[in-house]
Structure 1
Amino acid sequence: MKIKEKATELSSVQLIVLFYFAAVALSTVLLSLPIAHQANVEWSFIDALFTAVSAISVTGLTVVSTADTFSTTGTYILAFVLQFGGIGIMTLGTFVWLLMGKKIGMKERQLISTDQNRGTLAGLVSLMRQILGLILLFEAIGTIILGIYLLKYYDAWQDAFLQGFFASVSATTNAGFDITGSSLIPYANDYFVQSINMILLILGAIGFPVLIELKDYLFQKKETVAYRFTLFTKVTTVTFFALILIGTALIWILEAGNFLADKSWDQSLFYSLFQSVTTRNGGLATMDVSEFTLSTQLVLSLLMFIGASPS
């Protein structure tokens, strides 16, 4: 009872921080389970903690090779942990509350509002449903497309779909993790894999408000008046794609006499385009960025500073 009373005394921001610490603790425990690792793998508490924090904050930094460390079960556990950061603690929490038949009261709505940076309490439960539905839909479609396509690279369909599933989750949540052992470098000349990943990266980075408005536009009833996008969505979309184009152009120009000097036009385009898309918040790579000049690395740093679209 005292714990419950203490919890009610905390502000929404304090509770959100507490929930994220709890998510880190849970994720650390899950990633430390013996079934999560391959045989004879050395795995310390600090490794598990760092990986959990990196996954929940969708940073993509690792101190171990995920491909050589995690078992198939561990890969699925890591993909689950990525959802905390990609979808959000309160979105997942709302889903659990609804499954349990719990009424979403004022306190819960305040938590959702804080987590999603919303200025109103109206329509929050519907918003959570839409966010969860959209993200899971993107991940499912990405898994199917990549899983089927990657059959050309893997003998067993289980391996192809595991790679497709994790790549889809990692790209959609903008997590930057991989289970290939070398990000997307094995697909440096496979433009289909790169294109699917870029689409998922963009869908995960452009922001939930934009995605929800796009959904409303696509599924509006024909007899209603013409749909009008909000100023937020217009400015966000134009800025988002303008930065992609500017980044692509700058990388291509700056590397024309260096990394891209011996590349064909299509290779130059995709190297530049993919790096422009993923640098903002994706964390994936089709080449070693240390091969870029200092000027290009400065451009990449600026794009990373700007980041993805706010929600």
Structure 2
Amino acid sequence: MTKQFTRIGLIATRNTTPVSQTLHGLVDFLSAKQLEIVLETKTHDLLPGNDLTTADLSNMDQHCDLLIVVGGDGSLLHVARFVIKQNLPILGINRGSLGFLTDICPDEIETRLSAILDGQYYEETRFLLSAQVNNNQCIAVNEMVLSSKTMAKMIHFDIYVDDKFMCHHKADGLIVATPTGSTAYSLSGGGPILHPALNAIVLMPMFPHTLTSRPIVINADADLSITVTKENEITACISGDSDIYLAVEANQTVKIKKMKEHLRLIHPIDYSYFETLRSKLHWG
């Protein structure tokens, strides 16, 4: 028996007319169902004149049992990184472009959301990655990207998997993608699509200085280390979901691991990953 949600958190990270309209519609819809509504603090400012409860993103789990994100995949990624340790299920209302993760359209709110609130939904978990450089850390739902801080500059780095040397690369960088991120930046570089249920990550060299470099899929539980070697005369950086950037100097090592916490995604009961691929990638 799936859990029925009674305390609904709402968050939007962009102040646009479509997002505001959807938020107003959600508040009216949830109020009519007599459900408790909690607005994330900054989202509250997008709905002037309301008297709804507010909560900071850092402790939404103390106020709601379902968090609805209004926006695109980028908005959901941003929110997920902040609430990952709160173990909150997240549902996305798509107000972006692709919508790989935010799979409910605004005109489906009444039918789709009603069913979900009645306990008819599919819950899926996705793992995240953490990257550490010295004592600094960033996390990612989609991918970690090692690159130069200077545009169009090649970097040199060694890759180790479980302390075993894999190879040395001279390239623009390296994408380390989760199954969730395999349909994002990595895909545009020619990487494979990984089904979300796979416990694997993709290592995708970016414009390598050799024609024999190819993407490789490895166990997500492996300890991955990337050392920026002494040949580098420029500073590299590692970024999580193109958001947080950590500097990586020559002879420094980035350690990337799968996090123990998981992103909990709520989908309509008839959700199909392959249908999402067909519609978003225009397959036949």
TM class by shorter-chain length?
under 0.3
Q: TM-score, normalised by structure 1?
A: 0.25
The structure whose residues are more often strand, as a share, is 2
Q: TM-score, normalised by structure 2?
A: 0.26
The structure whose residues are more often helix, as a share, is 1
